[in-house]
Amino acid sequence: MISVSVKQIAELLHAEIEGDGEIQINNVCKIEEGVPNAITFLANPQYEPYIYETRASAVIVSKNFQPQKELKYKPTLIRVEQPYQAFAQLLQFYQQYIQQSKKGVESPVFIGENSEYGKDCYIGAFVYIGKNVKIGNNCKIYPNTTIGDNVLIGDNTTIYAGVKIYHDCKIGNNVAIHAGTVIGSDGFGFAPNQENVYNKIPQLGNVVIEDNVEIGANCTIDRATIGSTIIRKGVKLDNLIQVAHNVEIGENTVIASQSGIAGSTKIGKNCMIGGQVGIIGHLKIADGTKIAAQSGIGNNVDKPNSILQGSPAFNVSDYKRSYVLFKKLPELYQKIQELSKKI
């Protein structure tokens, strides 16, 4: 990490300093693993005991945090409204600094005819860029990435190592796509004939990823059969997620790892989907829906802001009551057996 003073960090975070503002910070750490000249944060009250023993030089805390009078602490305090968000902002600043330092085109790189990239871009070694590709300003394309013909990529987008973007796909501004992800592979479209032989249905559409989207490592987002598979602005996808052809994911929806969404399903905005959730095809999921991990969705969710759990999933309150009974089934069965013998 670059070396900056506590005072400079406080100015970035619009924070108040309690202690020495001239201390130099060149590292970040967990509060329980603090080291000198490092900065950490305290957001969860259960970690408060560590602030009295951490070796970190500075700690981001809430403006309302009151240290215990009988205990001493050494680090400088940086007081903010929300410590966790402030620490995240600091990490984002550091990441941007690192990324901005990478510029230029390494060798070897292949760039097809009529393709172009904007100012301050970085293109790593062994990148393949097809024909008629347009890449915006300040983009970072890391090594061993493949970008197919006619792809459009907006400004300030980062594509990490080994990503594959098939032809005709469109990527917006401020997008991050992590290593190993495949954008625009064929949707799973096959039609059986009279002999039950499956004939492939050509997948002629594309994938559209709007602004401010982040996609984790080793995800697969299939191109549409016709039209577009669409990831709306602000969506955040974890690692190892499958998005099938013609799916649409609404604005600011977040999906955890190992979830799968079958073809032509439309997910609303501001949804939260846990890990290992399965959603069948051709459904509509209302805005604000929350789905617990390992749930299975087999029907439309029409009511906004629903909270679902189970497979098949239903209202989370009903699920929890049902689960209490489910856990007691062996006990109830034994009682029934005993009563049967007495009768």
Q: Where along the chain do its domains lie?
A: 4-100
What does the pLDDT read at residue 71? 84
- pLDDT score at 95: 79
pLDDT of residue 326: 83
Whole-structure pTM value: 0.85
The dihedral sign for the CA sequence 133, 137, 142, 143? positive
Q: Residue 329: what pLDDT?
A: 85
- Give the model's pLDDT for residue 23: 95
Sheet holding 272-273, edge to edge: 104-105, 122-123, 140-141, 158-159, 176-177, 214-215, 236-237, 254-255, 272-273, 290-291, 307-310, 313-315
pLDDT of the residue at 72: 85
> What dotted CATH number matches 4-100?
3.40.1390.10
Check residue 135 and give its pLDDT: 98
Low-confidence ranges of the chain (pLDDT < 50): none
pLDDT at 339: 85
For the question of residue 178 being annotated catalytic, the response is no
pLDDT for position 1: 64
Which residue of the set 14, 167, 178, 245 is catalytic? 245
